[in-house]
């Protein structure tokens, strides 16, 4: 009960931080509000029994914050505070209400197959213990020799998935390097290139 | 209470969509993408949560069947771990593109960038 209450409070904190990030006038305070939301998410992971997610979330949050602050601090924000476009806001609110109605219907069928499971009772917790999560939990120690089931799934059962993830990171870093590099951008930089 | 947690997570998703659609500043759009990622990760972790569940880590002297009876769902956590790192790469690439746009046009405003084409 208490842990659920803390999770609820932290989600409300995340929503407030996200609203500040979206609506504040200063860009630097917006970026810092996003950082607050990310650190709150890592605390939620820690409370919800996912320490394997809390530590990468903190690491990723620090890197994101450094990148965004580095981008915002040295550049002047000349964007005008334009009046809100009512049509687009209406479209967003309409889509949002459709989302919420869908959630209510999906979560309304508690325990039924196909809906979102009720909070605190995951799919694997049901009586039928043939689900893949239960199989991972019971077999992980002897199959992979890993005490940490999440790492066993990530690095053994689904190792190709992790390889694809590493490929995505590599391509993203390569793309950022190509976009930001100085060589080859101007004509007079040609003599710098050896070929 | 359970419904409230899911609805608030979807509300966070909604804030991200709103920032993505209605804002004209590139930094705000990147912030919207980041908030969308937070909301989806949060929802997946919450779906896998079990009341009073332990982390899916085998303790010393604990049997696997006992762990399976009381642990939270490990599969969404493995998926979300991939998603977190890919979200970082998306943010890094978007920041690189925004810096390049600022170098070329001198502004973060999408309206000005659109008008300055040529």
Predicted confidence band of residue A58 (pLDDT cuts 50, 70, 90): very high
> Does B16 lie at the interface with A, CB-CB under 8 angstroms?
yes
Report the alpha-carbon distance of residue A157 to residue A34 in Å, rounded: 34
**How does pLDDT run across A69-87, given as a tens digit for each residue?**
988 888 877 766 655 667 7
Is the separation of the CB atoms in B59 and A128 below 8 Å?
A: no
pLDDT at A192: 42
Is the separation of the CB atoms in A17 and A37 below 8 Å?
A: yes
pLDDT at B112: 79
Report the alpha-carbon distance of residue A186 to residue A180 in Å, rounded: 13
Beta-carbon separation of B108 and A142 below 8 A:
no
Predicted confidence band of residue A194 (pLDDT cuts 50, 70, 90): very low
- Is A119 domain-assigned? no
- Is A167 domain-assigned? yes
Q: Which residues contact A137 (CB under 8 A, 6 or more apart)?
A: A124, A149, B56, B64, B67, B68, B71, B74
Asked if residue A70 and residue A3 are part of one domain, the reply reads: yes
- Range list of H helices, A76-146: 86-108, 132-144
Q: Which residues contact A74 (CB under 8 A, 6 or more apart)?
A: none
Domain count, chain B: 1
- Is A84 domain-assigned? no
Is the separation of the CB atoms in B31 and A36 below 8 Å?
A: no
**How does pLDDT run across B70-106, given as a tens digit for each residue?**
888 888 999 999 999 999 999 999 999 999 888 888 8
Predicted confidence band of residue A95 (pLDDT cuts 50, 70, 90): confident
- Is A98 domain-assigned? no
> Does B22 lie at the interface with A, CB-CB under 8 angstroms?
yes
What is the span of the domain harbouring residue B60? 2-115
Of A55, A75, A95, the last residue of a domain is A75
What is the span of the domain harbouring residue A174? 133-195
Of A43, A58, A75, the last residue of a domain is A75
Q: Which A residues 153-182 touch B at CB under 8 Å?
A: 153-154, 158, 161-162, 165, 168-169, 171-173, 175-176, 179-180
**How does pLDDT run across B30-45, given as a tens digit for each residue?**
999 999 999 999 999 9
Tell me the ipTM for this assembly. 0.91
- Is A12 domain-assigned? yes
Q: Is the pLDDT of residue A169 over 70?
A: yes
Strand partners, A148: B57
Q: Is the pLDDT of residue A190 over 80?
A: no
User: Which of A33, A35, A49, A178 should one mutate to test binding to chain B, selecting the residue with the greatest count of B CBs within 10 A?
Assistant: A49
Centre a 10 Å sphere on the Cβ of residue A94 and count the other Cβ atoms it contains: 10
Is the separation of the CB atoms in A184 and A194 below 8 Å?
A: no
Q: Containing H/E element for A12?
A: helix A2-23
**How does pLDDT run across A3-52, given as a tens digit for each residue?**
888 999 999 999 999 999 998 888 899 999 999 999 999 999 999 988 99
Closest to B5 (Cβ–Cβ): which among A7, A153, A173?
A: A7
pLDDT at B52: 82
A158 → chain B, closest CA residue: B78
User: Can you give the CATH number for the domain in which B14 is found?
Assistant: 1.10.287.3510
Domain count, chain A: 2
């Amino acid at each position: 009960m208490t842990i659920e209450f803390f999770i609820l409070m932290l989600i409300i904190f995340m929503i407030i931080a996200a609203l500040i990030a979206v609506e504040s006038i200063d860009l630097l305070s917006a970026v810092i509000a996003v950082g607050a939301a990310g650190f709150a998410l890592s605390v939620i992971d820690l409370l919800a029994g996912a320490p394997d997610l809390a530590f990468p979330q903190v690491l990723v949050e620090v890197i994101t914050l450094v990148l965004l602050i580095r981008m915002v601090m040295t550049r002047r924000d000349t964007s005008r505070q334009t009046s809100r476009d009512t049509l687009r806001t209406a479209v967003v609110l309409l889509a949002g209400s459709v989302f919420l109605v869908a959630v209510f219907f999906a979560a309304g069928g508690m325990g039924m197959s196909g809906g979102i499971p009720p909070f605190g009772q995951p799919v694997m917790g049901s009586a039928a213990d043939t689900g893949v999560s239960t199989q991972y939990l019971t077999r992980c120690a002897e199959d992979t020799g890993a005490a940490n089931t999440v790492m066993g799934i990530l690095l053994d059962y689904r190792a190709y998935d992790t390889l694809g993830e590493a490929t995505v990171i590599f391509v993203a870093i390569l793309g950022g390097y190509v976009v930001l590099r100085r060589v080859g951008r101007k004509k007079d930089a040609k003599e710098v290139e050896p070929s | 209470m359970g419904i409230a947690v899911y609805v608030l997570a979807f509300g966070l998703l909604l804030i991200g969509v709103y920032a993505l659609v209605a804002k004209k500043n590139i930094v705000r759009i990147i912030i919207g993408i980041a908030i969308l990622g937070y909301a989806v990760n949060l929802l997946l972790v919450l779906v896998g949560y079990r009341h009073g569940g332990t982390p899916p880590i085998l303790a010393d002297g604990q049997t696997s069947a006992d762990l399976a009876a009381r642990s939270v769902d490990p599969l969404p956590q493995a998926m979300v771990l991939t998603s977190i790192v890919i979200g970082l790469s998306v943010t890094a690439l978007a920041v690189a593109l925004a810096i390049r746009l600022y170098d070329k046009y001198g502004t973060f405003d999408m309206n000005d960038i659109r008008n300055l084409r040529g």
